[in-house]
Amino acid sequence: MAGRIAVRLTRWTQQVDATPSNINLLFKGGVYGPRETGGLSAAQETDVWCRWKAGQSLHMIGRAFGKPHTSIHCLLSHHGGIVPAVRRRSLLALTLAEREDISRGIACGSSIRDIAKHLERAASTVSREVARHGGRPEYRATEADHQAWSQPCGPRRAFLPSM
């Protein structure tokens, strides 16, 4: 091994925090906003799924809605290319009719226990429902029903504590 020079190189490592200090990495407590659908209405999304099931390509579907094929791909790949199930309420959830009965009971001055007994529900269920939607003076059945339906379904994201 004549003629070879053995050189030993040492590597220098230095940890660097490249994130500017004025950027907040937690978005409102770690909860992200609703999923963006690329500017498509619910009817348009349904039409996208019908076209996809009919065998149209991403490019054809995108042209039909004036969107790039990548937007259509994001919508379809989010569900694995399978049409999502229609959202429906649990049988345990309060219905609009039950919420109307709660509203009428509050208006005529009935107690929470009396309202719950009339609905054949637990008093805690009715109490939480009223408290969740503004208390006795502000409870409105249609607003409570709309708010309950528009809340995100499924498991909630974990809260990321700040350091």
- CB proximity list for 32: less than 8 A, separation 6 or greater: 157
Note the pLDDT tens digit of each residue in 73-88.
Answer: 988 888 888 888 887 8
Note the pLDDT tens digit of each residue in 122-135.
Answer: 999 999 999 999 99
Split at pLDDT 50, 70, 90, the class of 98 is very high
Decide: 115 and 88 in contact? Cβ < 8 Å: no
3-state secondary structure the chain: CCCCCCCCCCCCCCCCCCCCCCCCCCCCCCCCCCCCCCCCCHHHHHHHHHHHHCCCCHHHHHHHHCCCHHHHHHHHHHCCCCCCCCCCCCCCCCCHHHHHHHHHHHHCCCCHHHHHHHHCCCHHHHHHHHHHCCHHHHCCHHHHHHHHHHCCCCCCCCCCCCC
Amino acid letter at 67?
K
pLDDT of amino acid 112: 94
Q: For residues 102 and 122, give the distance between their C-alpha atoms in angstroms, rounded to a whole number.
A: 13
What is the arithmetic mean of pLDDT over 33-51? 77
pLDDT of amino acid 150: 80
What is the arithmetic mean of pLDDT over 36-63? 86
pLDDT of amino acid 30: 46
Q: How far, in Å, are 31, 33, 151, 158 from residue 155 at the CA level?
A: 12, 14, 12, 9
What is the arithmetic mean of pLDDT over 61-82? 88
